[in-house]
Amino acid sequence: MLSTVNWVARVLGFAWLGVLAFLLAPPHDPAALLVQVAGYCLLGLALVAMALIDAHLVPARYHDRALTLIRGVIAVATGFAAGAGYGGTAMVAFGFVAAMMAGSDDSLTAALAVTGSGILATEISGLAFGTGYGTLLGLPAILLSGLVIGRNRAAYRIQAEQTAQLLAQREELETEQRRADLLDERARIAREIHDVLAHSLGALGIQIQAARAVLADHKDVDRAGEILAAAQRMAAEGLVETRRAVHALRSDTLPLDEELARVSDTYAERYHVPATFEVGGSPGPLPPDATVALLRVAQESLVNAAKHAAGQGVTVHLDYSDAGVRLTVRNGLPHGSRPDGEAGVSTVNGGYGLTGMRERLRLLNGTLQAGRQDNQWIVTAELPRSQPENVMP
């Protein structure tokens, strides 16, 4: 539709120029009339050539060069015709359009060549036919204005194309970011499920082993029933914790000191051993990922204590400082236990628990140490107060 409108405007403009130049205001000088007729005919041929290009009757590889040549012909033809004066002066309108299109679609060199050739033709014709300063100065100014408008048009077009490319790139980046966020969320939920199940199943396994030992010795069936009932409660609690992990709602996370106090009380009630919780420094809010990471370290350490140091007391200490937060879990070791360090760290999942804790803390610029000291097993986790951005727990 736009191409059709453009061609209707060109044809009507061409016809009007013919009426104006040869019927309404024809030149009195035969030479000027001849120049204007020649310029008018060349303009018509150039328009026909442009129509052939628009109709795809010219091979596409020649389009750019052919259009540049056609614009140059139009600028020269209309320059000579307009410089002759009289009604032919109006032909400068097509020269203006040619300079504008050259400035918009051609290189700067080609655009300058088209505009310069039109200005030169205008000056030669104007001087030859003795036209006034208005023609000699005004018509070149019109051609130059066409060039400037064309260059501005090209700049706006390039800017629009770059903006479109940037928007497309931004959409791609947002798509990739959404995909990365989804993968991070899946990894976070998988890690939470792993940690919760490792903790719950580890404690459940310990209770079942105790029940089997009691039943095997035929000592106390009632005691075995109590142990199995406790195991059933642990299974129910594990399901609750798993649901919380699946929901992965950060707003559901309590302050770290409250979470650790709850975990310590549960451990003492479950295994009938002393379990104390202490807080040092000034408690303050922590990012949810840091809270969850330290909570999982405490849970994993308590499971290890119940498995490898049954009946021994446990102390959980949380210390706040300006630089960071330190969590220390201590439990006594039974007499005759092996003094080697990492041998006592294996858990129900083959030792992966503390390894997973180290990886989790490393994502938060934290550290984890575990080892034997003075007949105690000590696990120490440290995290800085400032956490890296966009890290999922």
Residue 280, strand partner residues: 319
Say if residue 143's pLDDT is above 60: yes
- Which pLDDT band holds residue 227 (cuts at 50, 70, 90)? low
Residue type, 28: H
Candidate from 46-55, 140-149, 325-334, 359-368 with smallest mean pLDDT: 359-368
Q: Which whole-number Å values give the CA distances from 279 to 49, 202, 303, 327, in the listed order?
A: 89, 27, 21, 9
Output phi, psi for 49, to 5 deg.
-60, -40
Q: Interior CA angle at 387 toward 385 and 389, to 5°?
A: 155
Please give the mean pLDDT across all residues of the chain.
Answer: 82
What percent of the chain is modeled with pLDDT above 90?
42
The structure tokens listed for 247 are: 């929901």
pLDDT tens, position by position, 120-137: 999 999 999 988 888 899
DSSP reduced 3-state for 370:
strand
Of 80, 142, 84, 85, nearest to 115 by C-alpha is: 142
pLDDT reported for residue 218: 61
What mean pLDDT is predicted for residues 62-66? 89
DSSP reduced 3-state for 364:
coil
Say if residue 147's pLDDT is above 50: yes
What mean pLDDT is predicted for residues 61-84? 93
pLDDT reported for residue 347: 39
Say if residue 2's pLDDT is above 80: no
Q: What does the alpha-carbon distance between residue 118 and residue 113 come to, in Å, rounded to a whole number?
A: 9
pLDDT reported for residue 350: 40
pLDDT reported for residue 251: 47
What mean pLDDT is predicted for residues 358-386? 87
CB within 8 A of 104, min separation 6: which ones? 150, 151, 153, 154, 157
pLDDT tens, position by position, 198-219: 666 666 667 677 666 666 666 5
pLDDT reported for residue 348: 37
Question: According to the per-residue pLDDT averaged within each range, which of 180-194, 245-259, 293-307 is highest?
Answer: 293-307
